[in-house]
Amino acid sequence: MNAIITGAARGIGAEISTLLCESGYNVVINYRTSENEAKELCRRLNSAGGKAVAVKADVSIPEEAEYLFDAAHSNFGSVDLLVNNAGIAQQKLFTDITQSDYDRMFDCNVRSVFNCCQLALRDMIHEKYGRIINIASMWGICGASCEVHYSTSKAAVIGLTKALAKETAPSGITVNCIAPGVIDTPMNSGFDEETMNELREETPVGRIGSPYDVARAVLFLADKKSSFITGQVLGVDGGFI
């Protein structure tokens, strides 16, 4: 089985890549800027007996997304699993969000998903099998103050997931979404210790989530035995919402 994980050099993407590789998937580690991290992850996975390649591409740009899929085909063949993990976040008052901020957020968080889903479906429809898993956020469900454009972009990913799931189900393809809560990743590095403690206290299970928590959910939805689960949003948030 062959998998592409976008934004896979570190954090949640790196953990997903690691767990999938350990589970027997051939893994394409996509990155845009984190070249050193991506190549080191790739080296580590291959040294452990897995099969992984690192491919640089800005998947919000159609031509670069196409290059990523061409590289996957050259190395491993058709794509069975796509995990759309690439994304950015930004904290800003709504009245301070610029057109550039908005456009960049939607390019990274939504257009990239659109591009990669279209490309993955070329293989999946032909094979009458496929798994697409989109990484959204709990803020795409309930919204976050000072993150309106981020919350909106993740809500768009959830809408895309639900609609595409209905369209592709007759072809043996499932499309699901994971909505992580507060996860210990570089994306949350901007929060101070007091804020992180407050978020920990607000999480009913009493801890911040780990990238591994999200990766385990990906592995579950990617399994062939999960064929009756599609169009769903799986909250990995410790009961936050």
Is residue 120 within 8 A of residue 79, CB to CB? The reply is yes
Q: What pLDDT band is residue 196 in, cutting at 50, 70 and 90?
A: confident
148 vs 189, higher pLDDT = 148
Residue 216 pLDDT greater than 90, yes or no: yes
The predicted pLDDT at position 190 comes to 67
The predicted pLDDT at position 189 comes to 66
Query: What does the angle CA 74 – CA 75 – CA 78 come to, to the nearest 5 degrees?
Result: 70
Q: What is the pLDDT of residues 163-187, one digit of tens each?
A: 999 999 999 999 999 999 999 987 7
pTM: 0.96
The predicted pLDDT at position 57 comes to 98
Residue 18 pLDDT greater than 90, yes or no: yes
The predicted pLDDT at position 228 comes to 98
Residue 9 pLDDT greater than 80, yes or no: yes
Taking the alpha carbons at both ends of the chain, their separation in whole angstroms is 34
Mean pLDDT across 58-78: 98
- Parallel, antiparallel, or unpaired for β 173-180 and 233-236? parallel
Q: Please report the sign of the dihedral spanned by the C-alpha atoms of residue 187, residue 192, residue 193, residue 194.
A: negative
Q: What percent of the chain has pLDDT above 70? A: 99
Mean pLDDT across 16-35: 98
Residue whose pair of structure tokens reads 């009458």 in the numeric block: 128
Residue 2 pLDDT greater than 70, yes or no: yes
Residue 52 pLDDT greater than 90, yes or no: yes
Residue 188 pLDDT greater than 80, yes or no: no
Residue 107 pLDDT greater than 90, yes or no: yes
Residues that are catalytic: 150
Mean pLDDT across 73-90: 98
Say whether 52 sits in a helix, a strand or coil.
Answer: strand
